[in-house]
Structure 1
Amino acid sequence: MGTLVCTVELNKKTGVKVTINDDSAGMTQTIAMDGKTVTITVAKGSDTSSITQDEKSVVIKCKTFEVQADEAIKLTSSGTAAYESTKDTTIDATADVKISGQNVKATGQTAANLAGAQSKLDLGASGAALSSPQKASVSGQMQTSVSGTMVEVKADGMLTAEATGVATFKGAVTNVQGNLVNLG
């Protein structure tokens, strides 16, 4: 480490500025306080990071921002909160991840995929698919509807359709086919 050049400037109009220059490392550190804003800047070559604080905000500008906590991190806002990235974003935990709110909305511009254990829900422009290696269920307390221009129900093994009330099968043409057909 070379010799540091340290300066302190006191000015009744522009405030206080503390500067530390390390010419051997090409680094400059400054703290500036002008009565309204506190700015901390670190610059080396073309890289610069800064923290700017006034009575309403703290702005951090840097290439990489990292927070490490031994126990917990909590971010709270009494207003809106937003997280934006122009690149891929990952949220990862070795334990449970929970998201809750009055309404929770997740949107994929091309596709949305949800997977748990070996079950999957895939939503894309060409359709939606729910798959599970064991059992997939859809239920409604009052009513469950399935509709489409063409609806197909298919079982590779046994197929059971049952109602505790009236069961109606209706169509312009209704076909019942099989090697053995038992009605009644």
Structure 2
Amino acid sequence: MATLVCTLTMSKEGGVTVQVDNADAGITQTVTMDGTAITIEVSDGSDTSTFVQKADSVAITCKQFTVDAETIACTAEKQASLRSSDDAVSIESGTDMKLTAGAKLSASASSDVAISGANTQISAQSKAGMDGLTAEVAATQSLTLSGTSQAELSGLQVSVKADAQLSAESSGMAAFKGSMTTIGGNLITAG
């Protein structure tokens, strides 16, 4: 076992400092109480971790921070933020995950955004919208677009194409209208 050098320093101006030096491992542990803050520091010469507690704050600075508990609860009366400067952020749940906002919920990315799942559903209580420079909706098997009262498709130029059969049917009145209307085909049946 390494021989430790323990130092206790007491001062009316600087408070109390306890220092433990492990020369064999090159590690120094320091606890300082200066009347305004409690500072705990561990250093090996290249890396340093620091815990600073004041009356209104607690600050932890380290290279790697790990919390392992059966349950974890974090509550902020005002603002809460999670940020990674240089690497990715990963949030994972072994079962269900729920994300709730009391007001607006915004998600943005400077690059691509991907949402995937076995079944994916997006719903809105009032209005739902999707827009982009180009927009594409595709299904590998079948695609259904419907409106309970009205459905509308519009554009400067609209094309409807089927590789096999194309059907347009109305249980009520059907109207095809244009400044010029052309119907063509090898076989045309009306009636």
Task: Report the TM-score, using the length of structure 2 for normalisation.
Answer: 0.74
Q: Give deviations 1:150-176, integer Å, cap 9, x for gaps.
A: 444555566666677876655554555
Once the two structures are TM-superposed, the CA of residue 27 in structure 1 deviates from its matched residue by: 0.4
Once the two structures are TM-superposed, the CA of residue 129 in structure 1 deviates from its matched residue by: 3.8
Once the two structures are TM-superposed, the CA of residue 127 in structure 1 deviates from its matched residue by: 3.5
Secondary structure in structure 2 of the residue aligned to 1:24: coil
State the match for 2:111 in structure 1: 110
- The 5 Å alignment of 1:81-160 reads 81-86=80-85, 87-101=87-101, 102-117=103-118, 127-133=134-140, 148-154=155-161
Deviates more, 1:109-118 or 1:35-44: 109-118
- The 5 Å alignment of 1:49-64 reads 49-64=49-64
Once the two structures are TM-superposed, the CA of residue 88 in structure 1 deviates from its matched residue by: 1.3
Q: Give deviations 1:31-65, integer Å, cap 9, x for gaps.
A: 11111111111101210111111112111111111
Q: Percent identity?
A: 38
What is the aligned length? 182
Rounded to whole Å, the distance in 1 between the matches of 2:177 and 2:53 is 71
Distance 1:173 1:81, change over 3 A: farther
State the match for 2:125 in structure 1: none
Task: Report the TM-score, using the length of structure 1 for normalisation.
Answer: 0.76
Which amino acid letter does the alignment assign opposite residue 53 of structure 1? Answer: Q
Which amino acid letter does the alignment assign opposite residue 104 of structure 1? Answer: L
Distance 1:126 1:37, change over 3 A: same
Secondary structure in structure 1 of the residue aligned to 2:114: strand
Do the aligned partners of 1:16 and 1:32 also contact (CA within 8 Å) in 2? yes
- Unmatched 5+ stretches in structure 2: 123-129
Rounded to whole Å, the distance in 1 between the matches of 2:17 and 2:170 is 81
Rounded to whole Å, the distance in 2 between the matches of 1:2 and 1:147 is 81
Secondary structure in structure 2 of the residue aligned to 1:20: strand
